[in-house]
Structure 1
Amino acid sequence: MYTIPYPQFDPVIFALGPLQVRWYGLMYILGFAASYLLVKKQIRDFSFERLGDHFDNLNMVLILCVVLGGRLGYVFFYNFSYYLAHPLEIPATWQGGMSFHGACIALIAGGLLFCRKQSLNFWKTADIYVATVPVGLFFGRIGNFINGELYGRITSTGIGMVFPGGGPLPRHPSQLYEALLEGAALFVLVWAAHKKPWKASAQNRRLWPHGSILALFLIGYGIFRIVVENFRQPDPQLGFLFTSLTMGQLLSGLMVAAGALLWIIRIRYATI
Protein backbone atom coordinates (compact mmCIF):
# COMPACT_ATOMS: atom_id res chain seq x y z
CA MET A 1 0.00 0.00 0.00
CA TYR A 2 1.40 3.38 -0.98
CA THR A 3 1.63 5.98 1.79
CA ILE A 4 3.07 9.46 2.07
CA PRO A 5 6.17 9.30 4.28
CA TYR A 6 5.69 11.13 7.55
CA PRO A 7 8.58 13.59 7.99
CA GLN A 8 10.40 12.67 11.17
CA PHE A 9 10.60 16.00 12.93
CA ASP A 10 12.78 16.56 15.93
CA PRO A 11 10.33 18.36 18.25
CA VAL A 12 13.24 20.37 19.68
CA ILE A 13 14.60 23.06 17.35
CA PHE A 14 17.62 23.71 19.53
CA ALA A 15 18.63 23.50 23.15
CA LEU A 16 20.74 25.75 25.35
CA GLY A 17 21.52 23.63 28.36
CA PRO A 18 18.21 22.80 30.06
CA LEU A 19 16.35 25.34 27.90
CA GLN A 20 14.66 23.76 24.88
CA VAL A 21 13.01 25.62 22.03
CA ARG A 22 10.34 23.38 20.51
CA TRP A 23 8.49 23.60 17.22
CA TYR A 24 5.13 23.36 19.00
CA GLY A 25 5.90 26.38 21.18
CA LEU A 26 7.20 28.28 18.17
CA MET A 27 3.91 27.66 16.34
CA TYR A 28 1.99 29.20 19.23
CA ILE A 29 4.32 32.20 19.27
CA LEU A 30 3.87 32.70 15.52
CA GLY A 31 0.09 32.45 15.91
CA PHE A 32 -0.03 35.02 18.71
CA ALA A 33 2.38 37.32 16.85
CA ALA A 34 0.35 37.19 13.62
CA SER A 35 -2.89 37.88 15.49
CA TYR A 36 -1.22 40.76 17.34
CA LEU A 37 -0.08 42.44 14.13
CA LEU A 38 -3.39 41.90 12.32
CA VAL A 39 -5.39 43.33 15.21
CA LYS A 40 -3.10 46.37 15.31
CA LYS A 41 -3.66 46.84 11.59
CA GLN A 42 -7.44 46.75 12.00
CA ILE A 43 -7.35 49.22 14.86
CA ARG A 44 -5.70 51.66 12.44
CA ASP A 45 -7.95 50.73 9.49
CA PHE A 46 -11.17 51.12 11.48
CA SER A 47 -9.95 54.11 13.54
CA PHE A 48 -10.75 52.32 16.81
CA GLU A 49 -8.41 54.36 19.01
CA ARG A 50 -10.19 53.41 22.26
CA LEU A 51 -9.34 49.75 21.66
CA GLY A 52 -5.74 50.80 21.05
CA ASP A 53 -5.69 52.42 24.51
CA HIS A 54 -6.56 49.07 26.13
CA PHE A 55 -4.86 46.80 23.62
CA ASP A 56 -2.08 45.31 25.76
CA ASN A 57 -4.30 44.73 28.80
CA LEU A 58 -6.97 43.06 26.70
CA ASN A 59 -4.36 40.83 25.06
CA MET A 60 -3.20 39.62 28.48
CA VAL A 61 -6.78 38.84 29.47
CA LEU A 62 -7.40 36.93 26.23
CA ILE A 63 -4.17 34.90 26.53
CA LEU A 64 -5.22 33.84 30.04
CA CYS A 65 -8.65 32.95 28.69
CA VAL A 66 -7.09 30.75 25.99
CA VAL A 67 -5.02 28.82 28.55
CA LEU A 68 -7.65 28.53 31.29
CA GLY A 69 -10.61 27.99 28.98
CA GLY A 70 -8.76 25.53 26.79
CA ARG A 71 -7.63 23.47 29.77
CA LEU A 72 -10.95 23.51 31.64
CA GLY A 73 -12.80 22.75 28.43
CA TYR A 74 -10.69 19.62 27.98
CA VAL A 75 -11.24 18.64 31.61
CA PHE A 76 -15.03 18.98 31.48
CA PHE A 77 -15.74 17.99 27.88
CA TYR A 78 -13.21 15.25 27.24
CA ASN A 79 -11.91 13.67 30.45
CA PHE A 80 -14.10 14.72 33.36
CA SER A 81 -14.14 11.38 35.22
CA TYR A 82 -10.34 11.16 35.21
CA TYR A 83 -9.77 14.68 36.51
CA LEU A 84 -12.55 14.26 39.06
CA ALA A 85 -10.43 11.47 40.51
CA HIS A 86 -7.13 13.35 39.97
CA PRO A 87 -7.93 17.06 40.54
CA LEU A 88 -4.31 17.98 41.26
CA GLU A 89 -3.46 17.17 37.63
CA ILE A 90 -5.83 19.77 36.22
CA PRO A 91 -3.13 22.51 36.11
CA ALA A 92 -0.65 20.13 34.41
CA THR A 93 -1.06 21.60 30.93
CA TRP A 94 2.40 20.34 29.96
CA GLN A 95 0.93 16.84 29.90
CA GLY A 96 -1.33 17.87 27.01
CA GLY A 97 -5.06 18.31 26.78
CA MET A 98 -6.59 21.56 25.50
CA SER A 99 -10.02 22.19 24.00
CA PHE A 100 -10.65 24.86 21.38
CA HIS A 101 -14.34 24.98 22.26
CA GLY A 102 -13.47 25.66 25.90
CA ALA A 103 -11.02 28.36 24.86
CA CYS A 104 -13.65 29.93 22.58
CA ILE A 105 -16.21 30.13 25.40
CA ALA A 106 -13.64 31.68 27.74
CA LEU A 107 -12.49 34.18 25.10
CA ILE A 108 -16.02 35.43 24.48
CA ALA A 109 -16.84 35.62 28.19
CA GLY A 110 -13.53 37.25 29.14
CA GLY A 111 -13.70 39.70 26.25
CA LEU A 112 -17.27 40.64 27.11
CA LEU A 113 -16.44 41.35 30.77
CA PHE A 114 -13.36 43.40 29.82
CA CYS A 115 -15.23 45.46 27.23
CA ARG A 116 -18.04 46.19 29.64
CA LYS A 117 -15.62 47.30 32.34
CA GLN A 118 -13.74 49.58 29.92
CA SER A 119 -16.88 50.75 28.06
CA LEU A 120 -15.65 49.33 24.74
CA ASN A 121 -17.97 48.20 21.95
CA PHE A 122 -17.85 44.45 22.49
CA TRP A 123 -19.23 43.48 19.07
CA LYS A 124 -16.77 45.65 17.17
CA THR A 125 -13.89 44.43 19.33
CA ALA A 126 -14.95 40.79 18.90
CA ASP A 127 -15.09 41.14 15.10
CA ILE A 128 -11.60 42.63 15.00
CA TYR A 129 -10.09 39.85 17.08
CA VAL A 130 -12.02 36.90 15.68
CA ALA A 131 -10.98 37.77 12.13
CA THR A 132 -7.42 36.85 13.16
CA VAL A 133 -8.13 33.64 15.11
CA PRO A 134 -7.87 31.30 12.08
CA VAL A 135 -4.23 32.32 11.67
CA GLY A 136 -3.48 31.02 15.14
CA LEU A 137 -5.46 27.87 14.41
CA PHE A 138 -3.40 27.29 11.29
CA PHE A 139 -0.10 27.46 13.15
CA GLY A 140 -1.49 25.40 16.02
CA ARG A 141 -2.52 22.54 13.72
CA ILE A 142 0.88 22.62 12.04
CA GLY A 143 2.33 22.24 15.52
CA ASN A 144 0.08 19.22 16.12
CA PHE A 145 1.34 17.69 12.87
CA ILE A 146 4.98 18.23 13.79
CA ASN A 147 4.32 16.59 17.17
CA GLY A 148 2.60 13.67 15.46
CA GLU A 149 -0.49 14.12 17.65
CA LEU A 150 -4.22 14.39 16.93
CA TYR A 151 -3.74 12.23 13.84
CA GLY A 152 -6.59 10.86 11.78
CA ARG A 153 -8.36 7.56 11.33
CA ILE A 154 -6.91 4.60 9.48
CA THR A 155 -7.20 4.95 5.71
CA SER A 156 -6.47 2.83 2.65
CA THR A 157 -6.18 5.85 0.38
CA GLY A 158 -2.86 7.07 -0.96
CA ILE A 159 -2.80 10.13 1.30
CA GLY A 160 -2.30 8.18 4.51
CA MET A 161 0.74 8.55 6.76
CA VAL A 162 2.17 6.21 9.38
CA PHE A 163 2.47 8.37 12.50
CA PRO A 164 5.03 7.43 15.15
CA GLY A 165 2.40 6.93 17.86
CA GLY A 166 -0.44 5.78 15.63
CA GLY A 167 0.48 2.16 15.04
CA PRO A 168 1.68 0.48 11.84
CA LEU A 169 -1.26 1.41 9.60
CA PRO A 170 -1.52 4.66 7.58
CA ARG A 171 -3.82 7.34 8.90
CA HIS A 172 -5.32 10.56 7.57
CA PRO A 173 -3.10 13.59 8.26
CA SER A 174 -6.15 15.28 9.76
CA GLN A 175 -4.02 18.00 11.36
CA LEU A 176 -3.25 19.27 7.86
CA TYR A 177 -6.94 19.10 6.89
CA GLU A 178 -7.72 21.26 9.92
CA ALA A 179 -4.90 23.68 9.12
CA LEU A 180 -6.30 24.15 5.60
CA LEU A 181 -9.99 24.39 6.55
CA GLU A 182 -10.14 25.84 10.07
CA GLY A 183 -7.03 27.90 9.39
CA ALA A 184 -6.45 29.05 5.81
CA ALA A 185 -9.97 28.73 4.35
CA LEU A 186 -11.70 30.19 7.41
CA PHE A 187 -9.28 33.12 7.49
CA VAL A 188 -10.00 33.98 3.86
CA LEU A 189 -13.74 33.80 4.58
CA VAL A 190 -13.89 35.96 7.70
CA TRP A 191 -11.17 38.40 6.61
CA ALA A 192 -12.88 39.06 3.28
CA ALA A 193 -16.25 39.53 5.00
CA HIS A 194 -14.73 41.84 7.60
CA LYS A 195 -13.32 44.04 4.85
CA LYS A 196 -16.70 44.48 3.15
CA PRO A 197 -18.22 47.98 3.31
CA TRP A 198 -21.09 48.20 5.75
CA LYS A 199 -23.77 49.50 3.40
CA ALA A 200 -27.09 50.56 4.84
CA SER A 201 -30.15 48.57 3.84
CA ALA A 202 -33.60 49.88 3.00
CA GLN A 203 -34.57 49.47 6.67
CA ASN A 204 -31.60 51.65 7.66
CA ARG A 205 -29.78 48.68 9.15
CA ARG A 206 -26.28 47.49 8.40
CA LEU A 207 -25.83 44.47 6.14
CA TRP A 208 -22.67 43.65 8.09
CA PRO A 209 -23.29 45.00 11.60
CA HIS A 210 -20.79 44.54 14.40
CA GLY A 211 -21.03 40.97 15.67
CA SER A 212 -21.82 39.43 12.30
CA ILE A 213 -18.16 38.47 11.76
CA LEU A 214 -18.13 36.69 15.12
CA ALA A 215 -21.27 34.84 14.06
CA LEU A 216 -19.72 33.95 10.70
CA PHE A 217 -16.63 32.62 12.45
CA LEU A 218 -18.69 30.41 14.79
CA ILE A 219 -20.66 29.00 11.88
CA GLY A 220 -17.63 28.51 9.64
CA TYR A 221 -15.42 26.91 12.25
CA GLY A 222 -18.22 24.64 13.42
CA ILE A 223 -18.96 23.37 9.91
CA PHE A 224 -15.28 22.82 9.05
CA ARG A 225 -14.65 21.02 12.34
CA ILE A 226 -17.66 18.75 11.83
CA VAL A 227 -16.30 17.79 8.40
CA VAL A 228 -12.75 17.13 9.62
CA GLU A 229 -13.96 15.08 12.59
CA ASN A 230 -15.02 12.43 10.05
CA PHE A 231 -11.31 11.87 9.37
CA ARG A 232 -9.84 12.55 12.82
CA GLN A 233 -9.28 9.77 15.34
CA PRO A 234 -11.71 10.20 18.27
CA ASP A 235 -10.22 10.72 21.71
CA PRO A 236 -9.52 7.25 23.13
CA GLN A 237 -11.13 7.92 26.50
CA LEU A 238 -14.39 8.96 24.80
CA GLY A 239 -14.61 7.23 21.44
CA PHE A 240 -17.94 7.82 19.68
CA LEU A 241 -20.85 9.31 21.62
CA PHE A 242 -23.77 8.21 19.47
CA THR A 243 -23.09 5.80 16.60
CA SER A 244 -20.47 7.81 14.67
CA LEU A 245 -20.85 11.19 16.44
CA THR A 246 -17.78 12.56 18.24
CA MET A 247 -17.57 15.06 21.07
CA GLY A 248 -15.93 17.50 18.67
CA GLN A 249 -18.90 17.25 16.31
CA LEU A 250 -21.41 17.68 19.13
CA LEU A 251 -19.69 20.82 20.42
CA SER A 252 -19.23 22.15 16.89
CA GLY A 253 -22.91 21.60 16.14
CA LEU A 254 -23.80 23.72 19.17
CA MET A 255 -21.29 26.29 17.91
CA VAL A 256 -22.99 26.47 14.51
CA ALA A 257 -26.41 26.88 16.17
CA ALA A 258 -25.10 29.66 18.43
CA GLY A 259 -23.49 31.41 15.45
CA ALA A 260 -26.67 31.18 13.38
CA LEU A 261 -28.76 32.59 16.23
CA LEU A 262 -26.29 35.43 16.77
CA TRP A 263 -26.26 36.15 13.03
CA ILE A 264 -30.07 36.45 12.91
CA ILE A 265 -30.18 38.68 15.97
CA ARG A 266 -27.42 41.03 14.81
CA ILE A 267 -28.63 41.26 11.21
CA ARG A 268 -32.24 41.92 12.24
CA TYR A 269 -31.84 44.19 15.21
CA ALA A 270 -28.37 45.77 15.25
CA THR A 271 -28.05 49.36 14.07
CA ILE A 272 -24.24 49.58 14.26
Structure 2
Amino acid sequence: MDFPQIDPVIFSIGPLSLHWYGFMYLLGFITAWLLGNYRAKQANSGWTKDMVADFLFYAFLGVIIGGRLGYVLFYHMDLWQQDFWYLFKITEGGMSFHGGLLGVLGAVFYFARKNQMRFWQVGDFIAPLAPLGLLFGRLGNFINGELWGREASADFFLGMRFPADSEGLIRHPSQLYEAFFEGLVLFIILWLYSAKPRPTKAVSGVFLLGYGGFRFVIEYFREPDSHLAAVSEIITRGQLLCLPMVALGLYLIISAYKQSAK
Protein backbone atom coordinates (compact mmCIF):
# COMPACT_ATOMS: atom_id res chain seq x y z
CA MET A 1 0.00 0.00 0.00
CA ASP A 2 1.34 3.42 -0.92
CA PHE A 3 1.04 6.28 1.53
CA PRO A 4 -1.99 8.43 0.63
CA GLN A 5 -0.83 11.74 -0.82
CA ILE A 6 -2.04 14.39 1.64
CA ASP A 7 -1.03 18.02 1.26
CA PRO A 8 0.47 19.03 4.65
CA VAL A 9 -0.97 22.53 4.12
CA ILE A 10 -4.75 22.82 4.58
CA PHE A 11 -4.97 26.29 3.03
CA SER A 12 -2.93 29.43 2.54
CA ILE A 13 -3.87 33.10 2.67
CA GLY A 14 -1.02 35.18 1.31
CA PRO A 15 2.15 34.31 3.28
CA LEU A 16 0.15 32.57 6.03
CA SER A 17 -0.50 28.84 5.84
CA LEU A 18 -2.41 26.49 8.10
CA HIS A 19 -0.66 23.12 8.33
CA TRP A 20 -2.36 19.90 9.32
CA TYR A 21 0.23 19.32 12.06
CA GLY A 22 -0.45 22.68 13.70
CA PHE A 23 -4.18 22.15 13.27
CA MET A 24 -3.90 18.82 15.11
CA TYR A 25 -2.22 20.57 18.04
CA LEU A 26 -5.10 23.07 18.05
CA LEU A 27 -7.65 20.24 18.02
CA GLY A 28 -5.86 18.62 20.94
CA PHE A 29 -6.10 21.74 23.09
CA ILE A 30 -9.72 22.42 22.10
CA THR A 31 -10.64 18.85 23.04
CA ALA A 32 -8.81 19.18 26.36
CA TRP A 33 -10.67 22.43 27.04
CA LEU A 34 -14.08 20.86 26.31
CA LEU A 35 -13.35 17.75 28.38
CA GLY A 36 -11.92 19.86 31.20
CA ASN A 37 -15.03 22.04 31.29
CA TYR A 38 -17.17 18.91 31.44
CA ARG A 39 -15.16 17.55 34.37
CA ALA A 40 -15.25 20.93 36.12
CA LYS A 41 -19.07 20.82 36.11
CA GLN A 42 -19.14 17.57 38.07
CA ALA A 43 -20.06 17.74 41.74
CA ASN A 44 -17.17 18.54 44.09
CA SER A 45 -14.66 18.81 41.24
CA GLY A 46 -13.01 21.82 42.87
CA TRP A 47 -12.51 23.33 39.42
CA THR A 48 -14.13 26.13 37.41
CA LYS A 49 -14.09 26.88 33.68
CA ASP A 50 -11.69 29.76 34.33
CA MET A 51 -9.31 27.43 36.15
CA VAL A 52 -9.40 24.98 33.23
CA ALA A 53 -8.58 27.74 30.74
CA ASP A 54 -5.86 29.10 33.03
CA PHE A 55 -4.19 25.70 33.39
CA LEU A 56 -4.35 24.91 29.67
CA PHE A 57 -2.49 28.16 28.94
CA TYR A 58 0.39 27.04 31.17
CA ALA A 59 0.17 23.51 29.77
CA PHE A 60 0.43 24.86 26.21
CA LEU A 61 3.65 26.66 27.11
CA GLY A 62 4.91 23.52 28.84
CA VAL A 63 4.20 21.32 25.82
CA ILE A 64 5.92 23.67 23.35
CA ILE A 65 8.95 24.59 25.49
CA GLY A 66 9.38 21.18 27.10
CA GLY A 67 8.69 19.30 23.88
CA ARG A 68 11.36 21.20 21.99
CA LEU A 69 13.92 21.07 24.80
CA GLY A 70 13.28 17.37 25.25
CA TYR A 71 13.74 16.65 21.56
CA VAL A 72 17.07 18.47 21.47
CA LEU A 73 18.39 17.06 24.76
CA PHE A 74 17.15 13.48 24.31
CA TYR A 75 17.62 13.01 20.59
CA HIS A 76 19.81 15.71 19.02
CA MET A 77 22.39 17.07 21.43
CA ASP A 78 24.87 16.60 18.58
CA LEU A 79 23.12 19.21 16.42
CA TRP A 80 22.79 21.64 19.34
CA GLN A 81 26.51 21.35 20.04
CA GLN A 82 27.18 22.27 16.41
CA ASP A 83 24.63 25.10 16.30
CA PHE A 84 23.35 26.79 19.47
CA TRP A 85 20.40 28.31 17.60
CA TYR A 86 19.18 24.86 16.54
CA LEU A 87 17.19 24.79 19.79
CA PHE A 88 15.02 27.64 18.51
CA LYS A 89 14.52 26.36 14.95
CA ILE A 90 11.11 24.88 15.68
CA THR A 91 10.02 25.32 12.06
CA GLU A 92 12.50 22.58 11.13
CA GLY A 93 10.46 20.12 13.20
CA GLY A 94 11.30 18.08 16.26
CA MET A 95 9.17 17.68 19.39
CA SER A 96 9.48 15.07 22.12
CA PHE A 97 6.53 13.67 24.08
CA HIS A 98 8.68 13.01 27.15
CA GLY A 99 10.00 16.57 27.09
CA GLY A 100 6.47 17.88 26.66
CA LEU A 101 5.37 15.76 29.63
CA LEU A 102 8.08 17.32 31.81
CA GLY A 103 6.89 20.74 30.65
CA VAL A 104 3.30 19.92 31.61
CA LEU A 105 4.45 18.63 35.01
CA GLY A 106 6.11 22.02 35.48
CA ALA A 107 2.78 23.65 34.61
CA VAL A 108 1.02 21.39 37.14
CA PHE A 109 3.50 22.40 39.85
CA TYR A 110 3.06 26.13 39.16
CA PHE A 111 -0.73 25.92 38.88
CA ALA A 112 -1.05 23.87 42.07
CA ARG A 113 1.02 26.37 44.08
CA LYS A 114 -0.84 29.32 42.59
CA ASN A 115 -4.24 27.84 43.50
CA GLN A 116 -3.17 26.21 46.79
CA MET A 117 -3.94 22.73 45.50
CA ARG A 118 -2.03 19.47 45.85
CA PHE A 119 0.20 18.50 42.93
CA TRP A 120 -1.41 15.10 42.32
CA GLN A 121 -4.89 16.56 42.78
CA VAL A 122 -4.22 18.67 39.68
CA GLY A 123 -2.52 15.77 37.93
CA ASP A 124 -5.51 13.48 38.47
CA PHE A 125 -7.87 16.06 37.03
CA ILE A 126 -5.92 16.74 33.84
CA ALA A 127 -4.62 13.21 33.09
CA PRO A 128 -7.80 12.08 31.24
CA LEU A 129 -7.63 15.23 29.07
CA ALA A 130 -4.27 14.35 27.51
CA PRO A 131 -4.71 11.15 25.43
CA LEU A 132 -6.94 12.63 22.72
CA GLY A 133 -4.33 15.34 22.21
CA LEU A 134 -1.77 12.57 21.74
CA LEU A 135 -4.10 10.93 19.21
CA PHE A 136 -4.33 14.13 17.15
CA GLY A 137 -0.58 14.67 17.40
CA ARG A 138 0.19 11.21 15.98
CA LEU A 139 -2.34 11.74 13.21
CA GLY A 140 -0.40 14.91 12.40
CA ASN A 141 2.80 12.86 12.19
CA PHE A 142 1.06 10.42 9.85
CA ILE A 143 -0.27 13.16 7.58
CA ASN A 144 3.26 14.60 7.42
CA GLY A 145 4.58 11.15 6.44
CA GLU A 146 7.15 11.23 9.27
CA LEU A 147 8.15 9.00 12.20
CA TRP A 148 7.25 5.88 10.25
CA GLY A 149 7.73 2.34 11.48
CA ARG A 150 10.22 -0.44 10.91
CA GLU A 151 10.12 -2.67 7.86
CA ALA A 152 7.04 -4.90 7.62
CA SER A 153 6.45 -8.06 5.62
CA ALA A 154 5.43 -7.51 2.02
CA ASP A 155 1.98 -9.06 2.56
CA PHE A 156 1.15 -7.17 5.78
CA PHE A 157 -2.24 -5.56 5.20
CA LEU A 158 -1.30 -2.29 6.95
CA GLY A 159 2.18 -2.03 5.44
CA MET A 160 2.92 1.26 3.66
CA ARG A 161 5.54 2.94 1.53
CA PHE A 162 6.23 6.48 2.70
CA PRO A 163 7.30 9.02 0.03
CA ALA A 164 10.10 10.48 2.17
CA ASP A 165 11.63 7.05 2.82
CA SER A 166 14.67 6.87 0.55
CA GLU A 167 14.80 3.07 0.98
CA GLY A 168 11.28 2.64 -0.37
CA LEU A 169 10.49 -0.16 2.10
CA ILE A 170 7.07 -1.40 3.16
CA ARG A 171 6.81 -0.21 6.75
CA HIS A 172 4.54 -0.33 9.78
CA PRO A 173 2.40 2.84 10.09
CA SER A 174 3.52 3.12 13.70
CA GLN A 175 2.06 6.63 13.96
CA LEU A 176 -1.41 5.07 13.64
CA TYR A 177 -0.56 2.40 16.22
CA GLU A 178 0.40 5.15 18.65
CA ALA A 179 -2.68 7.21 17.83
CA PHE A 180 -4.90 4.22 18.55
CA PHE A 181 -3.30 2.82 21.71
CA GLU A 182 -1.66 5.87 23.33
CA GLY A 183 -4.56 8.07 22.23
CA LEU A 184 -7.95 6.41 21.87
CA VAL A 185 -7.51 3.29 24.03
CA LEU A 186 -5.73 5.17 26.84
CA PHE A 187 -8.42 7.87 26.78
CA ILE A 188 -11.20 5.28 27.18
CA ILE A 189 -9.35 3.59 30.05
CA LEU A 190 -8.71 6.87 31.90
CA TRP A 191 -12.15 8.34 31.26
CA LEU A 192 -13.94 5.25 32.57
CA TYR A 193 -11.51 4.79 35.47
CA SER A 194 -11.79 8.42 36.61
CA ALA A 195 -15.60 8.41 36.36
CA LYS A 196 -15.72 7.10 39.93
CA PRO A 197 -13.88 8.55 42.96
CA ARG A 198 -10.31 7.22 43.12
CA PRO A 199 -7.53 7.72 45.67
CA THR A 200 -5.34 10.74 44.99
CA LYS A 201 -2.46 9.88 42.61
CA ALA A 202 -4.18 6.80 41.19
CA VAL A 203 -5.47 8.42 37.97
CA SER A 204 -2.09 10.02 37.32
CA GLY A 205 -0.48 6.64 37.93
CA VAL A 206 -2.76 4.91 35.42
CA PHE A 207 -1.87 7.53 32.80
CA LEU A 208 1.88 7.12 33.32
CA LEU A 209 1.66 3.33 33.40
CA GLY A 210 -0.67 3.17 30.41
CA TYR A 211 1.27 5.52 28.17
CA GLY A 212 4.65 4.14 29.18
CA GLY A 213 3.51 0.55 28.61
CA PHE A 214 1.86 1.18 25.25
CA ARG A 215 4.75 3.30 23.97
CA PHE A 216 7.34 0.74 25.12
CA VAL A 217 5.67 -2.02 23.07
CA ILE A 218 4.99 0.15 20.00
CA GLU A 219 8.66 1.22 19.90
CA TYR A 220 9.39 -2.30 18.59
CA PHE A 221 7.47 -1.31 15.44
CA ARG A 222 8.80 2.27 15.16
CA GLU A 223 11.92 3.10 13.17
CA PRO A 224 14.50 4.70 15.49
CA ASP A 225 16.32 7.88 14.50
CA SER A 226 19.11 7.01 12.09
CA HIS A 227 21.86 8.36 14.38
CA LEU A 228 20.50 6.23 17.26
CA ALA A 229 19.92 3.04 15.28
CA ALA A 230 23.10 1.34 16.56
CA VAL A 231 21.89 1.31 20.17
CA SER A 232 18.21 0.80 19.29
CA GLU A 233 18.61 -2.85 18.33
CA ILE A 234 18.51 -3.71 22.04
CA ILE A 235 16.40 -0.89 23.49
CA THR A 236 15.40 2.41 21.91
CA ARG A 237 15.76 5.87 23.39
CA GLY A 238 11.97 6.07 23.59
CA GLN A 239 11.81 2.82 25.56
CA LEU A 240 14.47 4.03 27.98
CA LEU A 241 12.45 7.18 28.61
CA CYS A 242 9.30 5.09 29.17
CA LEU A 243 10.81 2.92 31.89
CA PRO A 244 10.72 5.69 34.56
CA MET A 245 7.12 6.43 33.56
CA VAL A 246 6.08 2.80 34.09
CA ALA A 247 7.93 2.60 37.41
CA LEU A 248 6.47 5.88 38.69
CA GLY A 249 2.99 4.92 37.49
CA LEU A 250 3.11 1.62 39.38
CA TYR A 251 4.44 3.38 42.49
CA LEU A 252 1.67 6.01 42.41
CA ILE A 253 -1.10 3.42 42.01
CA ILE A 254 0.21 1.17 44.78
CA SER A 255 0.88 4.03 47.21
CA ALA A 256 -2.49 5.64 46.43
CA TYR A 257 -4.43 2.52 47.39
CA LYS A 258 -2.23 1.84 50.42
CA GLN A 259 -2.91 5.34 51.73
CA SER A 260 -6.58 4.93 50.97
CA ALA A 261 -6.71 1.65 52.92
CA LYS A 262 -5.15 3.36 55.95
User: What is the TM-score with the length of structure 1 in the denominator?
Assistant: 0.90
Separation in 2, partners of 1:111, 1:94: 27
SS at match of 2:200: coil
Post-superposition shift, 1:136? 0.3
Would you say the 8 A contact 2:41–2:48 is kept in 1?
A: no
SS at match of 2:88: coil
Aligned counterpart, 1:220: 210
Separation in 2, partners of 1:17, 1:159: 38
Separation in 1, partners of 2:231, 2:208: 22
Post-superposition shift, 1:53? 4.4
Q: Deviations over 1:23-46 (max 9, x none)?
A: 111111111100110001001014
Asked if 1:160 corresponds to 2:159, the answer is yes
Would you say the 8 A contact 1:51–1:125 is kept in 2?
A: no
Separation in 2, partners of 1:98, 1:119: 31
Q: Deviations over 1:159-195 (max 9, x none)?
A: 2100011131111100000011001110111111000
Post-superposition shift, 1:89? 1.4
Asked if 1:169 corresponds to 2:169, the answer is yes
Would you say the 8 A contact 1:154–1:172 is kept in 2?
A: yes
Post-superposition shift, 1:49? 4.6
Aligned counterpart, 1:189: 189
* Aligned AA (2:160): M
Asked if 1:211 corresponds to 2:210, the answer is no
Cα RMSD for the two superposed structures: 1.7
Separation in 2, partners of 1:53, 1:30: 19
Would you say the 8 A contact 1:141–1:179 is kept in 2?
A: yes
Aligned counterpart, 2:10: 13
Unaligned runs of 5+ in 1: 199-207
* Aligned AA (2:252): L
Would you say the 8 A contact 2:36–2:52 is kept in 1?
A: no
Q: Percent same amino acid at aligned positions?
A: 42
Would you say the 8 A contact 1:152–1:172 is kept in 2?
A: yes
* Aligned AA (2:29): F
Match for residue 136 of structure 1 among 133, 137, 140:
133
Q: Deviations over 1:103-131 (max 9, x none)?
A: 11221122112211220233232112110
Aligned counterpart, 1:203: none
* Aligned AA (1:263): I
Post-superposition shift, 1:48? 3.0
Paired residues in the alignment total 259
Asked if 1:48 corresponds to 2:41, the answer is no
Post-superposition shift, 1:238? 1.5
Post-superposition shift, 1:86? 1.3
Separation in 2, partners of 1:73, 1:40: 29
Would you say the 8 A contact 2:160–2:173 is kept in 1?
A: yes
SS at match of 2:123: helix
Would you say the 8 A contact 1:34–1:135 is kept in 2?
A: yes
Post-superposition shift, 1:51? 4.7
* Aligned AA (2:188): V
* Aligned AA (1:152): G
SS at match of 1:230: coil
Would you say the 8 A contact 1:23–1:143 is kept in 2?
A: yes
Separation in 1, partners of 2:261, 2:178: 35
User: What is the TM-score with the length of structure 2 in the denominator?
Assistant: 0.93
SS at match of 2:227: coil
Would you identify which runs of 4 or more consecutive aligned residues in structure 1 move more than 4 Å?
none
Post-superposition shift, 1:240? 4.4
Separation in 2, partners of 1:6, 1:178: 17
- Gap change, CA 1:239 and 1:46, over 3 Å in 2: farther
Post-superposition shift, 1:6? 1.4
